[in-house]
């Protein structure tokens, strides 16, 4: 067996302010369950609870604004006549590059078809063919057409629409819109709710069960497919509360985000390549042919690195996506949202070469959680992208993200045996009121600097030198934040981003191999000794590599004091 990473750096050197929880509030509310996040995971969980549950639903934007809303491609499930869960299982394991938890994957794919039926019962209108059968597309690394879609390329929007409508129709929750969760409340070793900023007032929402479903962290990079609210708040909250997190080194970069000079990033769904689009380089060559047996439909990490390799030598900002050989009418029908967006930019979906480049897209790491959402902190559940169940391994299979949020959101609600009464007796601290506030101008500048560091040094390709430099510069940002009053929402987000960016960078340097979404140019091979070995950050900021092959409670393989 080759030597495991020695993990000689921990988060202990972080400024202490970044590991303190916020415990200051002006008002209190009591609930049975608090759900933070209103994408597919949070909404599925909420709708599955008994209607008498006293439920609070906290969402950072307006209800309906989430990463789910922006999911174009679709939801993968083995519902086709030529498909079965066993095939979906194998495809997921292959894409996960030796790091998937097989049991979590089995649950995901076997429960997927029933979860789709539940979505249909909630009013989700997936696209159907002339015979009224569900229309199924194919995306990268899938061996069958199994991707359900809606409105052609507006799948997430339709799912979010249907679930939000059901939430409002049933009046089952007290909804806090435009509200930011600050930290977890912990009492006697149990999660007791959250502290929340809402309309410039801080609330303690006390609950017997707290559910984090508040998504990913694409905003840590300058270019991302994620909406502005995806700043890693849930994982940062968990780290501050001493909750075990895992696999922070694994971020998926979507290969094809529209790359127009000065233009906002816009995702060009992998389903476009599933319909037969080609990727071409500066010379007009299909460079994925010969790179992988699936060519343009290779796993996302393979395609993203191949695109990066084409861009770097010539200093090109993109490669090109080519649909000119495909039927124009069918492409316009299949991808109306993309076609409209391109037209607004003066481009034609079917007549022009489309400039595309990789962008931060999906976080495979997160809060260590079971398929029922349970975490290392009693009373705290984590579901969806904020969690790390091992189901995606080192590289998520396309369109498994919506499925994960749906299946494990329903599972978490179904397996919630009882709800403890909300904790009482937690007194708010009044620390920090006399500290100088972090002004908005400095907050914005530091956020831009952090994103630039991550984009240059902790991106599609990393190495020891780039990760060392990133850590040094991120610590400088953290020091500038320390000792300042964190009052505004942008400052709250920056604090979370700084903590998570540092944790990611240290984890990436610690895994001395290349695997899935984590590629080290100084360690380009995959180390067989690390097959199935997940990197955990435990309470006290110890780092361990641990296998999930025979369960989640395996003895530590490598421990850092």
Shared fold status for 16-20+433-559 and 255-359: no
Task: Supply the DSSP symbol for 74.
Answer: -
Domain boundaries, the chain: 16-20+433-559, 32-250+361-414, 255-359
CA dihedral sign of residues 327, 301, 361, 118: positive
Q: What is the DSSP string of 9-55?
A: --GGGS-GGGGPPP---SEEEEEEEEEE--SHHHHHHHHHS-TTS-E
Is the pLDDT assigned to residue 33 strictly greater than 60?
yes
Q: If DSSP codes are grouped into helix, strand and coil, which group holds residue 228?
A: coil
- pLDDT of 431 reads 52
241 within 8 A of 103, measured Cβ to Cβ = no
256 within 8 A of 273, measured Cβ to Cβ = yes
Distance CA 244, CA 538 (A): 5
Distance of CA 399 to the CA centre of its chain: 12
What is the set of active-site residues?
Answer: 300
Asked: is 255-359 a CATH 3.40.50.720 domain? The reply is: no
What six digits make up the tokens of 238? Answer: 């968990």
- pLDDT of 430 reads 55
Chain segment 382-408, per-residue pLDDT in tens: 999 999 999 999 999 999 999 999 999
| H/E stretch holding 304 | helix 300-314
- Torsions phi, psi of 536, nearest 5? -110, 145
Is the pLDDT assigned to residue 88 strictly greater than 70?
yes
Chain segment 118-153, per-residue pLDDT in tens: 999 999 999 999 999 999 999 888 999 999 999 988
256 within 8 A of 335, measured Cβ to Cβ = no
Is the pLDDT assigned to residue 11 strictly greater than 70?
no
Is the pLDDT assigned to residue 549 strictly greater than 90?
no
- The CATH number of 32-250+361-414 is 3.50.50.60
> CATH says 16-20+433-559 is which class?
mainly alpha
557 versus 390: the higher-pLDDT residue is: 390
């Amino acid at each position: 067996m080759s030597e495991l990473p020695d993990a000689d750096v921990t988060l202990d050197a972080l400024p202490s302010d970044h590991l303190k929880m916020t415990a200051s509030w002006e008002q209190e509310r009591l609930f049975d369950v608090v759900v933070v996040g209103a994408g597919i995971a949070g909404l599925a969980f909420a709708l599955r609870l008994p209607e008498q549950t006293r439920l609070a639903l906290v969402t950072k934007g307006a209800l309906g604004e989430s990463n789910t809303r922006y999911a174009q491609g679709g939801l993968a499930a083995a519902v086709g006549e030529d498909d079965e869960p066993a095939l979906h299982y194998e495809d997921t394991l292959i894409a996960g590059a030796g790091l998937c938890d097989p049991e979590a994957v089995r649950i995901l794919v076997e429960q997927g078809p029933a979860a789709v039926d539940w979505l249909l019962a909630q009013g989700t209108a997936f696209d159907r063919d002339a015979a009224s059968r569900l229309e199924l597309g194919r995306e990268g690394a899938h061996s069958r057409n199994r991707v359900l879609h809606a409105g052609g390329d507006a799948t997430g929007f339709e799912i979010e629409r249907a679930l939000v409508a059901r939430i409002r129709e049933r009046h089952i929750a007290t909804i806090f819109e435009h509200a930011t969760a600050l930290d977890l409340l912990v009492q006697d070793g149990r999660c007791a709710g959250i502290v929340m900023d809402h309309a410039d007032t801080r609330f303690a929402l006390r609950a017997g069960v707290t559910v984090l479903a508040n998504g990913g962290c694409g905003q840590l990079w300058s270019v991302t497919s994620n909406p502005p609210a995806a700043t890693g708040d849930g994982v940062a909250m968990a780290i501050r509360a001493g909750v075990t997190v895992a696999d922070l080194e694994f971020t998926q970069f979507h290969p094809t985000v529209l790359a127009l000079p000065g233009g906002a990033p816009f995702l060009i769904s992998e389903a476009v390549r599933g319909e037969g689009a080609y990727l071409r380089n500066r010379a007009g060559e299909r460079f994925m042919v010969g790179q992988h047996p699936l060519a343009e439909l290779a796993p996302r990490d393979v395609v993203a690195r191949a695109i990066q390799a084409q861009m770097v030598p010539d200093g090109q900002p993109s490669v090109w996506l080519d649909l000119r050989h495909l039927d124009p009418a069918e492409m316009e029908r299949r991808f109306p949202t993309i076609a409209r967006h391109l037209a607004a930019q003066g481009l034609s979906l079917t007549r022009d070469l489309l400039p595309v480049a990789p962008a931060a897209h999906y976080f495979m790491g997160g809060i260590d959680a079971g398929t029922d959402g349970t975490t290392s902190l009693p009373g705290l559940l984590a579901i969806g992208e904020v969690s790390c169940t091992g189901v995606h391994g080192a590289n998520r299979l396309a369109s498994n993200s919506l499925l994960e949020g749906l299946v494990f959101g329903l599972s978490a609600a179904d397996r919630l045996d009882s709800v403890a009464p909300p904790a009482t007796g937690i007194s708010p601290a009044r620390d920090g009121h006399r500290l100088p506030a972090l002004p908005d101008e400095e907050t914005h500048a530091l956020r831009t600097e952090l994103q630039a560091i991550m984009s240059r040094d902790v991106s599609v390709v990393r190495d020891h030198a780039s990760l060392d430099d990133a850590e040094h510069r991120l610590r400088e940002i953290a020091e500038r934040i320390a000792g300042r009053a964190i009052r505004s929402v942008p400052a709250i987000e920056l604090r979370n981003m700084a903590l998570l960016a540092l944790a990611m960078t240290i984890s990436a340097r610690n895994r001395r191999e290349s695997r899935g979404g984590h590629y080290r140019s100084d360690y380009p091979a995959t180390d067989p000794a690390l097959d199935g070995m997940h990197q955990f950050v435990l309470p006290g900021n110890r780092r361990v590599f641990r296998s999930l092959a025979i369960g989640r409670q395996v003895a530590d393989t490598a421990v850092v004091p």
